[in-house]
């Protein structure tokens, strides 16, 4: 117990005021995860809605694929992208390795299946009569999809929050394609991994607390938005 | 206004509806009566363009109409309507907004329709908190705000109290008087007799006849039809 109390008191001291490199890692984490979640949501939410409403052969198989991809290890995504971004890789000429865009693409790949699969579930749960009502009131099929998405706002919020959680908390891919370079690609999670390996548990725990606090604030904000769409 | 010829609908390879001939005229109320699970709601969804028949033709104003065209000119009040997230006014404004009306025009159309069904005093209320009767009235207002040429009602007054039934019947009669073709499915035979000018009888997945309401209820030659409209247990 002494270990935890020491770690917490040190953590609070370190966080007040926010030390420069900690602030840098925090804002990078937020920026990278927000951009990745935004892109993954713009793709995943409508796609999930379409898959939920459309009738086509192989639908169950496609849903199973997304369910499986939700659990893909972050390190595997990191390695796949490393193969693309490395100098001899297909995208090696763009010089993306060890950059923020590299981490963003990794986080998109991680959160996209989560957001899509949960969006499928959210839209599938909407009453079928909503779509019929929209169509009979003159909605074009894409407008009916929009109305269905609006009705599924609670489930879709959870999909986006969960996708954001997957993006901001991942460490494996960010470490491999980001390189954990101080002031350039270090995120909160890679900083936690680094400090833990150095034996700086208090700082590592402080960073973990910071991550939790940020996520708590975001959740409260999103839930408030959800109540007043 | 709308005519159906030799229309059939199958589910899982089994025919569930066959309609040799059916029509509904502008300015008239056409009732569709028949026992439960006879195919009445299927016929309504076909007329509304929400489903596609296997064979046959649906013609609107003398021209063959696709489901998408039928959806543009009709509005269906579902058997068990559902409210969308948002206020009563938001729900009523939806159809005109979808049809391309400006926010101000949509608001005007919605308020007129809400007044017709007596919901103009609760426009800001959450639509999902309405009572059963109010919800049906909202569904009717939502349909009327679209200003459809063809108004379809699938058992709109089932399980409602007399005051709600009266309000809905008045709005339906008003819609027909304004030139719309109104088609209503009902289990309430006195209501069909009271409101409609034409009545079609659907039994066992087949539209067996359509005639003036007076003929159907008073001197139709078919003994099954006579027994059904007399309220006899024919099954």
Write down the pLDDT at residue A1: 65
pLDDT digits (tens, 9 = 90+) for A101-133: 999 999 999 999 999 999 999 999 999 999 999
Region B183-202 average pLDDT: 93
Q: Is this complex scored with an ipTM above 0.85?
A: yes
The burial of A126, by beta-carbon neighbours within 10 Å (0-12 exposed, 13-18 middle, 19 or more buried), is given as: buried
Band of the pLDDT at B37, cuts 50, 70, 90? confident
DSSP annotation string for A18-78: TPHHHHHHHHHHHHHHHHHHHHHHHHHHHHHHHHHH---TTHHHHHHHHHHHTT--HHHHH
A20: contact with B, CB 8 A cutoff: no
Please tell me which of the candidates B49, B78, B85 has its beta carbon nearest to residue A133: B78
Nearest CA in chain A to B93: A137
Domains, chain A, ranges and CATH? 20-227 (1.10.3720.10)
Please tell me which of the candidates A129, A130, A135 has its beta carbon nearest to residue B71: A135
pLDDT digits (tens, 9 = 90+) for B61-101: 999 999 999 999 999 999 899 999 999 999 999 999 999 99
Q: Which residues of A touch B85 (CB under 8 A)?
A: 150-151, 153, 229
Chain A interface, best mutation among B85, B93, B140, by max A CB count within 10 A? B85
Query: Using an 8 Å Cβ cutoff, are B225 and B209 in contact?
Result: yes
Query: Using an 8 Å Cβ cutoff, are A82 and A97 in contact?
Result: yes
Tell me if A136 and B74 make a contact (CB, 8 A cut-off). yes
Region A79-106 average pLDDT: 93
- Give the residue among A183, A171, A217, A179 at the shortest CA–CA distance from A25: A183
Q: Which residues of A touch B71 (CB under 8 A)?
A: 135-136, 138
Tell me if B85 and A150 make a contact (CB, 8 A cut-off). yes
* Whole-angstrom distance, CA of residue A112 vs CA of residue B191: 54
Tell me if A138 and B72 make a contact (CB, 8 A cut-off). yes
């Amino acid at each position: 117990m002494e270990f935890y109390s020491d770690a917490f008191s040190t953590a609070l001291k370190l966080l007040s005021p926010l030390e420069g490199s900690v602030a840098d890692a925090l804002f990078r984490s937020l920026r990278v995860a927000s951009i990745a979640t935004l892109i993954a949501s713009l793709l995943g939410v409508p796609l999930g809605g379409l898959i939920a409403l459309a009738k086509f052969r192989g639908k169950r198989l496609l849903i199973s694929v997304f369910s499986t991809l939700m659990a893909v290890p972050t390190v595997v995504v990191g390695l796949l992208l490393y193969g693309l971004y490395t100098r001899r890789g297909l995208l090696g000429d763009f010089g993306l390795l060890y950059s923020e865009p590299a981490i963003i693409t990794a986080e998109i790949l991680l959160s996209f299946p989560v957001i899509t699969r949960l969006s499928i579930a959210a839209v599938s749960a909407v009453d079928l009569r909503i779509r019929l009502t929209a169509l009979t009131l003159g909605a074009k099929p894409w407008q009916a999809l929009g109305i269905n998405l609006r009705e599924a706002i609670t489930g879709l919020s959870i999909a986006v929050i969960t996708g954001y959680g997957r993006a901001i908390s991942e460490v494996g891919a960010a470490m491999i394609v980001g390189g954990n370079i101080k002031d350039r690609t270090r995120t909160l999670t890679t900083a936690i991994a680094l400090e833990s390996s150095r034996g700086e548990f208090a700082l590592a725990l402080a960073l973990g607390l910071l991550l939790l606090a940020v996520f708590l604030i975001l959740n409260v904000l999103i839930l408030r938005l959800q109540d007043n769409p | 206004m709308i005519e159906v010829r030799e229309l059939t609908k199958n589910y899982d390879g089994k025919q569930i509806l066959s309609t040799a001939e059916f029509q509904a005229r502008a300015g008239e109320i056409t009732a569709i009566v028949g026992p439960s699970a006879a195919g009445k709601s299927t016929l309504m969804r076909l007329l509304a363009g929400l489903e596609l028949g296997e064979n046959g033709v649906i013609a609107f104003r003398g021209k063959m109409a696709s489901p998408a065209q039928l959806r543009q000119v009709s509005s269906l009040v579902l058997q068990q309507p559902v409210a969308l997230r948002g206020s009563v006014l938001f729900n009523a404004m939806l159809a005109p907004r979808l049809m391309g009306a400006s926010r101000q025009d949509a608001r005007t159309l919605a308020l007129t329709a809400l007044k017709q069904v007596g919901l103009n005093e609760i426009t800001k209320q959450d639509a999902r908190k309405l009572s059963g009767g109010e919800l049906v009235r909202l569904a009717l207002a939502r349909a009327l705000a679209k200003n459809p040429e063809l108004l379809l009602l699938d058992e709109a007054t089932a399980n409602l109290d007399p005051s709600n039934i009266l309000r809905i019947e008045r709005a339906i009669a008003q819609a027909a008087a304004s030139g719309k073709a109104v088609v209503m499915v009902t289990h309430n035979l006195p209501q069909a007799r009271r409101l409609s000018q034409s009545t079609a009888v659907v039994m066992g997945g087949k539209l067996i006849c359509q005639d003036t309401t007076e003929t159907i209820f008073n001197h139709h030659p078919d003994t099954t039809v006579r027994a059904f409209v007399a309220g006899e247990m024919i099954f």
